[in-house]
Amino acid sequence: MYGVPQMPLHTPPLPLPAAQTIPSLPERPLHSLPPHPYLPMGNLPPPSPASEQKLTSKEPSPSLQVDESSLITPSPAFGAVPTPPASRPELYSIVGQVGEGTFGKVYKARNTINNVHVALKRIRMESERDGFPVTAMREIKLLQSLRHDNVVRLYEMMVSSGSVYMVFEYMDHDLTGVLSQTQFQFSEAHLKSLCHQMFRGLAYLHHKGVIHRDIKGSNILINNQGELKLADFGLARFYQKRRRADYTNRVITLWYRPPELLFGATVYGPEVDIWSAGCIMLELYTKKPVFQGNDEISQLEVIYKIVGTPTLQRWSGFANLPWYELVKPKDPIPNRFRELFRKWMSPAALDLAERLLDYDPARRVTAAQAMEAPYFLTDEPKPEKPTSLATLEGEWHELEAKRERAKKKKRE
């Protein structure tokens, strides 16, 4: 509409059904925005010719009638020009809640035009005294600039009743959920593929200069085609490849937090994600998180019990870290990693895991290097996407897994 060849403002996930007539629509209910505060007369300008055009070129309205109470309407202003409310189709109908993000709930919803499912992540605005949350802004900016098979795709942004929604592609499961179910057994080849896809996603992020900073089971999504995608960029940040900057060390869910952060490091890079990825790799095999500490101190102790205590040979810089005196290991503990995990993993897998969980961030492998490991290249079996996940009944997210557990407890 600005006279430049361009993509439609908000590409719907799939091509729309062609040639639809536009029936007159019901009044847009309930969800209209309050009058713009910067319009002194509380009046919207009459639609300009441009906006008229916009209207007809935008998605044809669905002839479906859906329950209005569960409908969300994209904001009029998101259509580039204030669009007369009457003509807005009810685009998404909420199916249910599937998760809890860093700053709001995540819903499964159906696009009422093409019936494609999407995930709606609601950014709650009313609780924010400082306006639009900076984390949300960061996530939006990041995701808009990322496009990769192993990174969850942000389709569009949407405004409705005072909330901003991020519209994502829908993913059937998350890793925590899918590992907690017992119907479907992953083969060695499946696990290897999931692991490989995770490193592909991470290699892409790190190449783009992004540290995820919250790699954990519930942020790794898997669909029924066996594709794995990284999600939830609420804590992610750009980093500088040449100059290391100071960041907060209060990131990454405790169980996946690397030792340098537990030692108080504020200068770090993409290696923090690699440690988390190492934890995930082990979790794929053992089906549950391996380092489950209760607080920072006990987290370090749990790590020591498995991979031993750090020494100057293993990690030359660790005595210089801010909290070294506070949390340094009291007695040396030997490394029992290989003997503990031998029953789960092949030697090649153990080799890679060891390089991922290297104490010294400088020596830890990069995501790109990990993809070149013998585990992926020569070790049998070859990776294979778990496409048979489609046969799995139900959808498995951490949220459902939690609820399931709670139910079981009640029954007992």
Partner 1 sequence: MATDFWASSHYKRWIVDRATLKQARADDVLYVAEPEHLGFFQIYFANLISKLGKKLQLRQRVISTAIVFFHRFYLKNSYCETDPYLVLSACCYVAAKAEESPVHIKNVVSESRTLFSQQGPGKPTFPSDNSKLAEMEFYLVDDLECDLVVFHPYRTLLALCRKDAEVEAEAGELGTGIGAEDGPKYWGSGRGKLELSEGALQTAWFIINDTYRSQLCLLYPPHLIAISAIYLTLVLHTPTQNTIFDETTTRRQDPVAFLADLNVSLSVVSTISQEIIALYSLWSRYKEEPGAQSAGATPGAGTGTASGGPEWRFGYGHTITPLILPMLLKRMREQKLSDMMHPSSGRPVAVNKMLERTQAAG
Q: Which residues bind partner 1 (CB under 8 A)?
A: 1-4, 6-7, 9, 27, 32, 35-45, 48-50, 75, 77-78, 80-82, 84-86, 125, 128-132, 134, 137-138, 140-142, 144-145, 147, 157, 159, 162, 164, 208-209, 237-243, 245
Query: What does the block give as tokens for 102?
Result: 């860093």
Quote the CA–CA distance of 175 and 217 in Å, as a whole number. Answer: 5
Q: Which is nearer to partner 1, 209 or 332 (CB)?
A: 209
Beta partners for 159?
Answer: 164
Q: How far is the CB of 39 from partner 1 (least distance, A)?
A: 6
**Which backbone phi and psi does 147 adopt, to 5 degrees?**
-150, 105
Q: Which is nearer to partner 1, 6 or 313 (CB)?
A: 6
Cβ-based neighbour number of residue 122 at 10 Å: 19
Query: What does the block give as tokens for 226?
Result: 């066996």
Residue 174: is it exposed, middle or buried by C-beta count within 10 angstroms (0-12/13-18/19+)?
buried
Quote the CA–CA distance of 19 and 354 in Å, as a whole number. Answer: 57
Q: Which is nearer to partner 1, 25 or 340 (CB)?
A: 25
Q: How far is the CB of 38 from partner 1 (least distance, A)?
A: 4
Nearest to 118, CA basis, from 95, 151, 140, 139 = 95
Q: Which is nearer to partner 1, 26 or 322 (CB)?
A: 26
**Contact at 8 Å (CB) between 157 and 166?**
yes
Q: Which is nearer to partner 1, 2 or 411 (CB)?
A: 2
Buried b (16+ CB within 10 A) or exposed e, 336-372: ebeeebeeebbebbbbbbbbbbbbbbeebbbbeebbe
The upper half-sphere exposure of residue 46, i.e. CA atoms within 13 Å in the direction of its Cβ, equals 1
Quote the CA–CA distance of 59 and 10 in Å, as a whole number. Answer: 9
Q: Which is nearer to partner 1, 36 or 305 (CB)?
A: 36
Cβ-based neighbour number of residue 51 at 10 Å: 18
Alpha carbon of 17 to those of 9, 53, 65: distances in Å? Answer: 18, 20, 17
Q: Which is nearer to partner 1, 125 or 340 (CB)?
A: 125
Residues belonging to the binding site for ATP are 121
Alpha carbon of 184 to those of 172, 358, 394: distances in Å? Answer: 14, 32, 11
| Residues with active-site annotation | 214
Cα dihedral 273, 276, 281, 287 sign: negative
Q: How far is the CB of 264 from partner 1 (least distance, A)?
A: 20
The upper half-sphere exposure of residue 333, i.e. CA atoms within 13 Å in the direction of its Cβ, equals 16
Helix or strand run (H / E) with residue 155 = strand 154-160
